[in-house]
Structure 1
Amino acid sequence: MSTPPTPSGLGFGAAVIANLYTEVPEQQAHEAVSAAWERGIRYYDTAPHYGLGLSERRLGAALREHPREEYLISTKVGRRLEPSAAGGDDLAHGFAVPATHRRVWDFTEDGVRRTLDASLERLGLDRVDMVYLHDPDDHAEQAFREGYPALEKLRAEGVVGAIGAGMNQAGMLTRFVRDTDVDVVLCAGRYTLLDQSAATELLPAALAKGTSVVVGGAFNSGLLADPKPGATYNYTEAPTELLDRALRMKAVAERHGIGLRAAALAFCAAHPAVTSVLVGARSATEVHDSADQFATPVPEAFWQELRETGLLKEPA
């Protein structure tokens, strides 16, 4: 049995190039992926949910210029796309694209296979390196009983290399790590400078089991990227208490000669269970900035001051 692929370092989250909140021109999206490649990024994450397939189409087209064996790509199952004649746009789900399809929650074996087949077609690939069950929060029974075994079969057939689950919570991901044979989990927003809930059980369990952890949402949807009034935290306006904490962290970072974004990325990457940190970018400029921030050394004195001032409870 071959060793499942393991994502490493900085990864490219392809939700943003699928017109997340606002339109991203085709060429700009292509340039963002090209810039990621230029900066040595070799792990790319997408999903049918992102722009009703637009993310997969754009990512597949941009990566076609590069040797397939030189990069890892992951997509997701659980939200099957069905054609829709409803019209309008998809902004209710966060994407500035025409509502040509509707999402259907489906973690059955048939649904998993049909969803993956459609993803492969949009990507222009015959295989993907990793597949995640996407946000099965309200569908736990079906995800564990049907969706996960379907992924096991696909892995055994060689259609996918590694299998796992991707969620914005740590509790159910911990169950996946402990109770199944997943290779990797994607945890978004639950291991950051502002929220270390994944450190209680998920990360220790993954470390003990040898399961890779990919961290997404390092900036908690914006607050840690640029803390200011009106900044978002977990996709809604940040509470005053968290905004104040982020601003205090930013001040500490600046005293130590670094940016808060560099500290946020370094925090996520520092845990031994974490193999990769995903960052979304809508332009080549944003990609280069993220790569620069990720490569910035963060002095130990910065972490020490965060701990001494009570701004960081969980040691990095």
Structure 2
Amino acid sequence: MNPHRNRLGRTEVRVTELAFGAAGIGNLFTPVTDSRAEQAVTAAWESGVRYFDTAPHYGLGLSERRLGAALRAFPRDEYTLSTKVGRLLEPAPFTGGDDLANGFAVPATHRRVWDFSAAGVRSSIEASLDRLGLDRIDIAYLHDPDDHAEQALTEGYPALERLRAEGVLGAIGVGMNQADLLARFIRETDVDVVLLAGRYTLLDQRGLTGLLPLAEQRGVGVVIGGVFNSGLLADPRPGATFDYAEAPAELLARATELKAVCEKHGVPLRAAALRFPFGHPAVASVLVGTRSADEVRDAAAMLHRTVPAALWTELKDRGLLPADVPVPPE
């Protein structure tokens, strides 16, 4: 199998359209066994996925350890790996508690320390390499610098730029769930890629105003995460979540209408949600968080479903998508 890969900006780093998001195998919300985590990564590989993303934040390093262990079964030059910087993990006195306050069902053996300093970035990369047990990291993202923008811009970014110049990293970027600060990084730095979570979906197109056109103009690759908006676009039903909280009634109604139009055209809502971001030429990959082999296979199958042009047209006609939003070719 030789999966199609998109190049990130002006770098030689390439990513597959479907990326494996490894927060789930870091025990996001509920535990996953080592075996199921390995099976999920293997299923991704067998489905043609060659881009894998993790972070120290995910399960206090558990995601990095599990992902690295699973990927060691595959040729290193055949996949792209990204992790993130900005949260250092420091040992903490263990009193038997868990990390669910931060979203992860793991023992609270460490604490996260925000650090976008140059020394912090280098320390984070070294620690990630140790947990991964791999020889290199292809992409490093500044992770959620919302409340640390100035340090990330003046200290963290230059440190990543130096690591890129030294050949330690192939590409550098920023990952967030807001578009405005990502656009500032594109304007003020030489990032290769931005990871935008939850802000370019069938329900939320805030990334289209400013960020995506700027990325296209500057030749910066875009990876889209959160295409299901944490669940609502995967299965719109009462109690479904939008951005990790119960979806408001009006959003649930909108998602339900989106689902009805998709089904009218013989397309699962999940397939349309996964395909939608590729209407914009700046988008290189869609990152899907998966925690089992079945979820991985489903995502791969959905991404490759044909979505007829008539579906996008009807969504626009009904006001469910803006009239000027770019949509993928059939």
Say whether 1:20 aligns with 2:39. Answer: no
Confirm or deny: 8 A CA contact 2:279 2:326 kept in the other structure: no
SS in structure 1 at match of 2:140:
strand
Picking from 259, 263, 278, the partner of 2:287 is 278
* Residue pair 2:280, 2:326 contacting (<8 A) in 1 also: no
Aligned residues: 315
Residue type of the alignment partner of 1:67? P
2:113 matches 1:95? no
Deviation at 1:86, TM superposition (A): 4.3
Q: Which residue of 1 aligns with 2:5?
A: none
Q: Which of 65, 75, 83 is equivalent to 1:75?
A: 83
**RMSD, aligned CA:** 0.9
1:161 is aligned with what amino acid?
G
Residue 65 of structure 2 aligns with an amino acid whose one-letter code is R
* Equivalent in the alignment of 1:11: 19
Task: Work out whether residues 11 and 192 of structure 2, in 8 Å CA contact, stay in contact via their aligned partners in 1.
Answer: no
The DSSP-based 3-state class of the residue aligned with 1:7 is strand
Q: Note the alpha carbon deviations across 1:143-195, whole angstroms, 9 max, x for none.
A: 00100000001001111110000000000000111110000010000000000
Q: How does 1:1-316 map to 2 (within 5 A)?
A: 3-87=11-95, 88-313=97-322, 314-316=325-327
Q: Secondary structure at the match of 1:160?
A: coil
Distance in 1 between the 2:168 and 2:109 partners?
A: 28
TM-score under structure 2 length normalisation: 0.94
* Cα distance per residue 1:59-79 (max 9 Å; x no partner): 000000000000000000000
Q: Deviations 1:219-270 (Å, cap 9, x if unpaired)?
A: 0000000000000000100010000000000000000001000000010122
| 1:45–1:73 contact (8 Å) kept in structure 2 | yes
Determine if contact 1:4/1:183 at 8 Å carries over to the other structure. no
SS at match of 1:306: helix
One-letter identity of the residue aligned with 1:13: G
Deviation digits for residues 108-156 of structure 1 (CA, Å, limit 9, x no counterpart): 0110011110000010122110000000000001000100000001001
Q: Distance in 2 between matches of 1:122 and 1:74?
A: 13
| Alpha carbons 1:6, 1:212 under 8 Å: kept | no
Taking the aligned partners of 1:13 and 1:68, their CA distance within structure 2 comes to: 18
* TM-score where L is the length of structure 1: 0.98
